[in-house]
């Protein structure tokens, strides 16, 4: 009888009946029938992964064969964590010398008043009772601005980023010389619900307007610096943006294996917490350690191109296989290089076989991977390529040698490239030397302190070169670089600027230059007459001395004479002098693409595709995904801003 009853259902798993019997004593017959019915249905279910009725099948990898087995072929970046996000908000720019505006929408005014009160303005504890928010907004020396910036994926609290400020009222004639008070930034921070902003970052700092004067050639250049301006490193991330990997197919075993592989390759014993942590059978959280804080996207690139398999002989075999792939498909160079990097030091010996490969794409890719892995032998082949006739290859060599900071051979090669006939190569060589803090740069460096004496306003670098050049950049730290330390002025130079408020003269044979400056609102107060007199200085007639005196503000600690001009004003002076021929050197200006990126994003509202999460090439690594239950509602606008491939890559040339 019992056998007949059991023959109507499939045999239970080991211990199955025992669990049913122990389930609950006194179970009713109806409950038993329901349980048996469920087992019958389960027995009739076909073998394979269980999915909800009508649900989509688990995604699988369909990319290129040479990337199969990489972590990027097994996971995808979770939607919303994989790209830089645009954050914005409103704020107040002060110290505008009457070029601001008192007009702003009433609702926005009230929000800004609340924000200023939040930071203590008009309070007794900050000793600002006489400076109420209402009085600040009614001052023509202030302007209400919109603030925009990009927070990169994986950003940690404390990371700095550039922000763009734009006057909200057309009556603001210029933002030059102003300072942004601390403001709150968030996703859709300028939308209708900005009053309920969830803080992602803060922004403040001095305004750096563009290096063009009002007589610039293009209307766009004139507009930038009046209605728009930059704050270099003015944004400060306050909320962490952890990265998350989603498995294509759920598996606790694979989730743990992937996390262990990432930690084994990129984790360090000095890290306070694991780099990769498996949260579920479908989700792995990536914590960006401090050593990758400035380049979290680079960490993800490496992780996604890391092979899960490891063992004796696998890496060497895979390196040679990827050489064949690159020989047949040169467009895979970026992905192949990342895959080699992710394998680590054990593959260096095999990579050396390609350092002198006959195909340039293979040779360069192997040298870049070897240099990144710290192989000194790569510098020898790179030094030979530094003599190549193609300036693009020489620039790539200069960019690669930064990965070998202790290489004497690499440093010698970079110093030679400072005199290259191609300007972009020279700038790239300087940037690499500056990054590794080579003595050729640091020995001639002078830092100009900000007006408070607590930070750096800008840096003056001088590098040896037989070809004069002036290079200006705001990336990282505002810098003015002089190629040729003894760069001076033309004979009998007389330069007038800003309606003759600034005049510079240097006569042949006198051995000094004269500086005459009339600040807005008057100059120094004469101790005897009590009248305001213009500032008059005499100094050694060379460009480096002039750049220092223009920006330096005398203090008790540093009582040296100076005019205390802003970085933007100093750049404007140098730009005009180079353009007019007062300084016998071309000038190169690296202009941040931030304004263009924000404008393009607002016009399209279509996120760009990240190379490692979208089709880098036909059949490349897969795209991003959403976890079950995600989606719907307003999503943050996400984009990966265009970044230069290396120093000087986004260079805009301005030659006189």
pLDDT attached to residue 113: 80
Whether 424 shows a pLDDT value over 90: the answer reads yes
Number of domains in the chain: 4
Element (H, E) at 570: helix 567-580
Q: What's the mean pLDDT in 638-643?
A: 34
Q: Is residue 151 part of a domain?
A: yes
Distances (CA, A) of 139 to 101, 144, 421: 8, 11, 52
Q: What's the mean pLDDT in 482-510?
A: 88
Global pTM reads: 0.76
Instruction: Please indicate, yes or no, whether residues 247 and 232 belong to a single structural domain of this protein.
Output: no
Whether 337 shows a pLDDT value over 90: the answer reads yes
Instruction: Please indicate, yes or no, whether residues 205 and 270 belong to a single structural domain of this protein.
Output: no
- Kindly report, residue by residue over 128-181, the tens digit of the pLDDT: 556 777 778 888 888 889 999 999 888 888 888 999 999 888 788 888 778 898
Instruction: Please indicate, yes or no, whether residues 19 and 122 belong to a single structural domain of this protein.
Output: no
Q: What's the mean pLDDT in 285-289?
A: 88
What is the extent of the structural domain holding 270? 65-80+242-304
The Cα 466–Cα 460 span in angstroms is 18
3-state secondary structure 253-304: HHHHHHHHHHHHHHCCCCCCCCCEEECCCCEEEECCCHHHCCCHHHHHHHHH
Q: Is residue 202 part of a domain?
A: yes
Q: What's the mean pLDDT in 628-647?
A: 34
pLDDT attached to residue 233: 85
Instruction: Please indicate, yes or no, whether residues 264 and 189 belong to a single structural domain of this protein.
Output: no
pLDDT attached to residue 37: 45
pLDDT attached to residue 4: 42
Whether 590 shows a pLDDT value over 70: the answer reads yes
Q: Is residue 56 part of a domain?
A: no
Q: Is residue 233 part of a domain?
A: yes
Whether 438 shows a pLDDT value over 70: the answer reads yes
pLDDT attached to residue 130: 63
Q: Is residue 385 part of a domain?
A: no
Pick from 281, 304, 327: which residue ends a domain?
A: 304
Whether 653 shows a pLDDT value over 70: the answer reads no
CB hemisphere CA count around 132 (13 angstroms): 5
The Cα 120–Cα 77 span in angstroms is 41
- Categorize the per-residue pLDDT at 333 as very low, low, confident or very high, splitting at 50, 70 and 90: very high
Say which residue, 552 or 592, is predicted with more confidence.
Answer: 552
Any idea which of 371-380, 385-394, 623-632 has the lowest mean pLDDT? 623-632
In 318-350, which positions are buried (b, 16+ CB within 10 angstroms) versus exposed (e)?
A: bbeebbebbeebeebbbbbbbbbbbbeeebbeb
Q: Is residue 154 part of a domain?
A: yes
- Kindly report, residue by residue over 203-256, the tens digit of the pLDDT: 998 887 665 443 344 334 444 446 788 888 889 999 888 789 999 999 999 999
pLDDT attached to residue 46: 41
pLDDT attached to residue 123: 63
Pick from 590, 625, 647: which residue ends a domain?
A: 590
Instruction: Please indicate, yes or no, whether residues 107 and 143 belong to a single structural domain of this protein.
Output: yes
Distances (CA, A) of 10 to 38, 297, 489: 11, 52, 96
The Cα 438–Cα 378 span in angstroms is 19
Q: What's the mean pLDDT in 455-482?
A: 91
Q: What's the mean pLDDT in 610-632?
A: 37
pLDDT attached to residue 140: 82
Q: Is residue 382 part of a domain?
A: no
pLDDT attached to residue 141: 85
Mean pLDDT of the chain: 78
Say which residue, 9 or 301, is predicted with more confidence.
Answer: 301
**DSSP 3-state of 579:** helix
- Kindly report, residue by residue over 470-479, the tens digit of the pLDDT: 999 887 788 9
Instruction: Please indicate, yes or no, whether residues 291 and 164 belong to a single structural domain of this protein.
Output: no
Pick from 304, 329, 347: which residue ends a domain?
A: 304
- Categorize the per-residue pLDDT at 522 as very low, low, confident or very high, splitting at 50, 70 and 90: low
Whether 452 shows a pLDDT value over 60: the answer reads yes
Q: What's the mean pLDDT in 547-575?
A: 88
Q: Is residue 651 part of a domain?
A: no
pLDDT attached to residue 103: 80
- As to burial, measured by CB atoms within 10 angstroms (0-12 exposed, 13-18 middle, 19+ buried), residue 255 is buried
pLDDT attached to residue 615: 38
- Kindly report, residue by residue over 526-551, the tens digit of the pLDDT: 555 455 678 899 999 999 999 999 99
- Kindly report, residue by residue over 4-55, the tens digit of the pLDDT: 444 443 444 444 433 333 434 444 444 443 334 434 344 444 444 444 444 4
pLDDT attached to residue 137: 80
Instruction: Please indicate, yes or no, whether residues 23 and 118 belong to a single structural domain of this protein.
Output: no
Instruction: Please indicate, yes or no, whether residues 218 and 251 belong to a single structural domain of this protein.
Output: no
- Kindly report, residue by residue over 94-141, the tens digit of the pLDDT: 888 788 887 877 778 777 887 777 777 766 565 555 677 777 888 888
Whether 418 shows a pLDDT value over 90: the answer reads yes
Strands 160-167 and 652-654: unpaired
Q: What's the mean pLDDT in 427-446?
A: 94
Return the bridge partners of 283, or none: 246
Q: What is the DSSP string of 592-610?
A: -SHHHHHHHHHHH--PPPP
Instruction: Please indicate, yes or no, whether residues 103 and 228 belong to a single structural domain of this protein.
Output: yes
- Angle made by CA atoms 74, 645, 654, in degrees to the nearest 5: 160
Instruction: Please indicate, yes or no, whether residues 164 and 298 belong to a single structural domain of this protein.
Output: no
Q: What's the mean pLDDT in 308-320?
A: 91
Instruction: Please indicate, yes or no, whether residues 127 and 224 belong to a single structural domain of this protein.
Output: yes
pLDDT attached to residue 453: 66
Check if the beta carbon of residue 56 is closer than 8 Å to that of residue 315: no
pLDDT attached to residue 253: 94
Edge-to-edge order in the sheet of strand 493-497: 493-497, 502-506, 513-517, 535-539
Instruction: Please indicate, yes or no, whether residues 141 and 174 belong to a single structural domain of this protein.
Output: yes
- Categorize the per-residue pLDDT at 194 as very low, low, confident or very high, splitting at 50, 70 and 90: low
């Amino acid at each position: 009888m019992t056998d007949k009853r059991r023959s109507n259902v499939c045999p239970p798993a080991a211990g199955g009946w025992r669990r049913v019997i122990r389930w609950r004593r006194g179970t009713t017959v109806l409950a038993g029938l329901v349980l048996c019915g469920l087992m019958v249905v389960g027995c009739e279910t076909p073998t394979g992964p269980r999915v909800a009725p009508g649900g989509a099948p688990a995604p699988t990898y369909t990319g290129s064969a040479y990337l199969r087995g990489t972590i990027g072929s097994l996971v995808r970046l979770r939607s919303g964590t994989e790209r830089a996000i645009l954050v914005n908000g409103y704020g107040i720019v002060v110290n505008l010398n009457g070029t601001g505006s008192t007009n702003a929408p009433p609702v926005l005014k009230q929000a800004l008043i609340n924000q200023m009160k939040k930071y203590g303005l008009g309070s007794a504890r900050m000793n600002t009772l006489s400076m109420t928010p209402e009085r600040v907004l009614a001052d023509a020396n202030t302007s209400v601005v919109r603030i925009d910036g990009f927070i990169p994926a994986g950003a940690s609290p404390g990371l700095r980023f550039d922000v763009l400020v734009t006057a909200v009222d057309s009556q603001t004639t210029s933002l030059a010389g102003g300072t942004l008070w601390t403001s709150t930034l968030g996703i859709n921070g300028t939308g209708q619900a900005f009053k309920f902003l969830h803080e992602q970052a803060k922004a403040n700092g001095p305004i750096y307007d563009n290096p063009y004067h009002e007589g610039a050639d293009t209307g766009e250049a004139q507009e930038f610096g009046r209605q728009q301006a930059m704050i270099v490193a003015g944004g400060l991330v306050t909320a962490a943006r952890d990265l998350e990997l989603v498995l294509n197919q759920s598996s606790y075993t694979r989730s743990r294996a992937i996390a262990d592989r990432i930690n084994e390759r990129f984790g360090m014993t000095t890290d306070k917490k694991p780099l990769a942590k498996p949260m579920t059978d479908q989700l792995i959280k990536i914590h960006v350690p401090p050593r990758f804080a400035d380049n979290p996207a680079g960490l993800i690139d490496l992780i996604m191109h890391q092979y899960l398999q490891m063992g004796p002989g696998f890496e060497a075999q895979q390196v040679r296989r990827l050489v064949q792939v690159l020989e047949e498909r040169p467009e895979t160079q970026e992905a192949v290089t990342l895959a080699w990097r992710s394998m680590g030091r054990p593959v260096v010996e095999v990579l050396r076989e390609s350092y002198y490969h006959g195909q340039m794409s293979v040779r360069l890719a192997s040298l870049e991977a070897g240099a990144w892995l710290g192989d000194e032998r790569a510098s020898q082949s790179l030094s030979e390529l530094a003599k190549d006739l193609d300036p693009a290859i020489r620039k790539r060599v200069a960019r690669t040698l930064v990965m070998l900071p202790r290489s004497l051979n690499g440093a010698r090669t970079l110093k030679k490239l400072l005199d290259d006939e191609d300007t972009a190569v020279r700038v790239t060589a300087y940037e690499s030397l500056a990054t590794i803090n080579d003595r050729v740069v640091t020995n001639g460096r002078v830092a100009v302190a900000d007006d408070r004496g607590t930070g750096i306003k800008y840096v003056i670098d001088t590098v040896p070169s037989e070809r004069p050049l002036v290079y200006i950049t705001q990336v990282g730290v505002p810098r003015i670089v002089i190629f040729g330390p003894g760069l001076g002025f033309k004979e009998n130079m007389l330069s007038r600027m800003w309606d003759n408020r600034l005049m510079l003269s240097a006569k042949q044979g006198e051995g000094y230059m004269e500086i005459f400056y009339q600040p807005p609102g008057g100059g120094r107060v004469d101790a005897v007459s009590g009248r305001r007199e213009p500032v008059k200085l005499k100094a050694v007639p060379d460009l480096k001395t002039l750049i220092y005196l223009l920006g330096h503000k005398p203090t008790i600690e540093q009582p040296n004479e100076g005019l205390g001009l802003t970085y933007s004003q100093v750049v404007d002076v140098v730009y005009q002098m180079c353009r007019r021929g007062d300084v016998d050197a071309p000038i190169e200006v690296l202009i941040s693409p931030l304004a263009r990126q924000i404008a393009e994003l607002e016009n399209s509202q279509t996120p760009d595709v990240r190379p490692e999460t979208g089709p880098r090439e036909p059949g490349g690594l897969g795209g991003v995904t959403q976890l079950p239950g995600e989606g719907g509602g307003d999503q943050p606008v996400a984009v990966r801003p265009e970044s230069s491939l290396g120093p000087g890559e986004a260079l805009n040339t301005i030659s006189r």
